[in-house]
Amino acid sequence: MTCPWPARLWIVRHGQSAGNVARDLAHAAGLGEIDLDIRDVDVPLSDLGHAQSDALGRWFAALPKEDRPTVVLTSTYLRARQTAIAIAEAGGLARADLAFCVDERLREREFGVLDRLTTHGIAARYPEQAEARRRLGKFYHRPPGGESWCDVILRLRAALDTLSLHHRDERVLIVCHQVVVLCLRYLLESLTETEILAIDAEGDVANCGVTTYSRNGEDGLSLDGYNFVAPLEDQGTPVTSAPDAKVAAR
């Protein structure tokens, strides 16, 4: 039986977004709400986010052609799509030879009533939600109208089924979001709640940070690297790792 997984898999968090910048400003000012009057799905990359995406694309371009991605899967969110397109254009990935797929299952976690609120804002407006999150933990807490990490994992299970069904033997690049990167690690490595939350506690996933897997014989995928940012550092592009604007209490 052949292995159902891609030959190689890169999982990339999108470049810095306008939401990241707005979130930092809100926290610095001690505000309860992030000043970003736009749907989360429509939040674009910042200028730095575009530069980060281009830097990562140039890193892919430096790889031998036979080692570059043949498939790109991206979240529907604008910042992820902009990142994926920039990587493809700067990375020597000929669009005619590249399967480029937008998949809503890779979207950001939805935050419901907590959308656009900082940690301070959540405590002030929805103290019962702050307490519920403290009691249940972020893995299981589902804000009204939003998703828990488990909800994200549920849709990602279906996305991975599609990956193994349609993209086996390919070299696949996934562009998505911080929580999605972590939840994919949880699934691909069969981690426990405790293990993935410990990884999360070590630090945020960097914008355009790369998590890489390679196929391990017939057994599946093996982790080669996590949160790899050398492609940005080598080109003098600043590395950022703040949570998204809508992820203040992720």
14 is known to lie in a ligand binding site: yes
79 is known to lie in a ligand binding site: yes
Active site residue 14: yes
Q: What are phi and psi of 104, to 5 degrees?
A: -65, -20
Question: What is the sign of the dihedral through the CA atoms of 122, 249, 112 and 33?
Answer: positive
13 is known to lie in a ligand binding site: yes
Nearest residue to 116 (alpha-carbon basis) of 196, 170, 39 = 39
213-216 — which CB contacts under 8 Å span 24+ positions? 213/8, 213/9, 213/10, 213/11, 213/188, 214/7, 214/8, 214/9, 215/3, 215/5, 215/6, 215/7, 215/8
18 is known to lie in a ligand binding site: yes
Of 14, 141, 167, 177, which is the active-site residue?
14
16 is known to lie in a ligand binding site: yes
Active site residue 27: no
155 is known to lie in a ligand binding site: no
134 is known to lie in a ligand binding site: yes
Of 33, 104, 108, 110, which is the active-site residue?
108
17 is known to lie in a ligand binding site: yes
Q: Where is the binding site for substrate, in residues?
A: 13-20, 79, 134-135
* Binding-site residues: 13-20, 79, 134-135
Please list the active-site residues.
14, 108
